Amino acid sequence: MRVALKQLLIFTFGWTAVLSSGGYKDMSLLLENIFKNYSAAACPCADAQSPVHVDLSLRICSILDLNIKEQMLKIRGFFKFMWTDERLSWDPKDYGNISFTYALQDKVWRPDVILTSLQGDSYVGSPETLAILFSNGKVVWEPSFTASFSCEVHIPKFPLDDSECQVVVAPWANHNSSIVLQLREPHIALEKTVSNGQFDVSVGDAYKAVFPYESWFYEEVFFSIKLIRKPAYAFMSLLFPLFVLGLLGPVAFLIPPDDAEKVGVSVTVLLATVVFTGLVHDNLPNKSDQISTVAIYVSSLLLLSFLGVLGNTIVLAVHRKKDGQVHTSDSPPSWKTENLARDICLSSNIPKDSVTQPDPKWITEQTKKCLEAGPEKVSKLNPKLSSKPKSRAQQLNLIFFISNTAAVIFITLAVFAFIFY
């Protein structure tokens, strides 16, 4: 849109300038005379030994998108070609001082350049594009384009990746004895490039290469575009949710061993990690020579989630197996503990200097009081009876929680260190 507006403004002001110096009759006569015996198919070479020198530059208007999955860069811009065609020269004095005019690109000779890195139609220009003709024979042709180019993305440090994409221009049929491409600028012009929300665009080098084909030599011009991804959006939408999802795995080990919901929680975390893994891999290219650190990170979290399900299942199995066995630990069964607590409570209430057998009625009343006092009385008299040692299931629960949490934090720190440094 911006390029089309620019061409419209050029045409409007140019036409105004023409009309101010010469009328439409002079313009019609000029166009009739210069195209009278003109052939757009004929090369404007002075002789067979003198190629046409074509100056070339590229301006980028905006970076539209970088598709990591397809490895395609979509940009909007325009080329500027300049050459001299002596057949299109005239004396301004003969045509009301008209020094330049316009013509459709199909009416003049132009270099048959193609974009070798383009996806889709590769020829440059459209039938509606105008060429500017100057009285000294200089021709300026500025074809615009909105196209997707092949771009190999450097993904190991995604989403903090930087990529260098290339726009390659080359003549298709004309070899370097017919057309010589010359760079007007050593790099792409980015002065008026619209800022992109995902990338910082920096200037890349432009260079020319010559390659042989059969018995001729052909030229290619390479324009490099450097893209550096802005990390804020990728961090908040990808890395931070992955870290939080990884911390949800150890949470299941905080649930007591006798609660079967701990396995359900760990399975839910595993399924959520599987879904997130699919989303990440769907946005990365299917290639094995480069593996993204984020892909390794989410795969590691998937493995830890699976180990979390396995660990919670083991804890629950150990707990249920212990409940099905006869208690053989140092802590007595609950009925023995209650009887022992009652005896201790009664003995503590009997006066130490008493040598006679207590009254049975008094024993009954004291027993009732001791039973009502419950664990508080026992814990004060004998703390060992109120503190049971942790079971094997509880110990496994704690071990799995610490190890899983440490693994998530270690992997996250390692991934962040690699990405940021």
Are 370 and 345 within 8 A, CB to CB? Answer: yes
Say whether both 38 and 139 belong to one domain: yes
Residues 240, 116: one domain?
no
pLDDT reading at 351 higher than 60: no
* Alpha-carbon torsion angle 135, 9, 147, 185, nearest 10: 50
DSSP code for 88: G
The verdict on 12 and 85 lying in the same domain is yes
Shared-domain flag, residues 78 and 199: yes
pLDDT band at 280 (very low <50, low <70, confident <90, very high): confident
What is the structure's pLDDT at 290? 74
pTM over 0.75? The answer is no
**Residue range 143-176, pLDDT digits in tens:** 988 888 888 777 777 777 778 888 888 888 877 7
R_g of the chain, CA atoms, integer Å:
42
Quick one: 140 and 289 in the same domain?
no
Mean pLDDT for the stretch of residues 61-73: 82
Residue-wise over 135-163: b if at least 16 C-beta within 10 A, else e? bebbbbbbbbbebbbbbebebebbbbbeb
In the Cβ-directed half-sphere of 409, how many Cα atoms lie within 13 Å? 7
Regarding whether 34 and 133 lie in a shared domain, the answer is yes
Does pLDDT of 217 surpass 90? no
Cβ-in-10-Å burial (0-12, 13-18, 19+) of 359 comes to: exposed
Are 217 and 150 in a shared domain? yes
130-134 and 138-141: which strand pairing?
antiparallel
- Phi, psi values for residue 419, rounded to 5°: -70, -45
Tokens linked to 284: 């990365």
Domain stops at, among 161, 194, 229? 229
Q: How high is the pLDDT of residue 368? A: 55
Q: Tell whether 133 and 54 lie within a shared domain.
A: yes
Pairing verdict, β 179-183 and 52-67: parallel
Domain final position from 210, 229, 248: 229
Query: What separation in angstroms does the CA of 111 have from each of 17, 138, 186, 234, 268?
Result: 28, 14, 21, 43, 62
Q: How far apart are CA 34 and CA 305, in angstroms?
A: 77
Find, among 115, 69, 125, 5, the residue nearest to 284 by Cα: 69
The residue from 229, 261, 288 where one domain ends is 229
Residue 84: which domain range? Answer: 2-229
Same-domain pairing of 23 and 99: yes
How many domains, in total, are found in the chain? 3
Q: Are residues 253 and 174 in the same domain?
A: no
Q: Clarify whether residues 76 and 63 are in a common domain.
A: yes
Shared domain check, 151 and 26: yes
pLDDT of 183-205, one tens digit each?
A: 888 777 776 677 677 777 877 77
What CATH number did the domain enclosing 290 receive? 1.20.58.390
pLDDT higher than threshold 70 for residue 258: yes
Q: Bridge partners of 317?
A: none
Q: What angle do CA 397, 399, 401 make, to 5 degrees?
A: 70
Q: Domain with 114 in it: what CATH number? A: 2.70.170.10
- pLDDT band (50, 70, 90) for residue 370: low
Report whether pLDDT(361) > 60. no
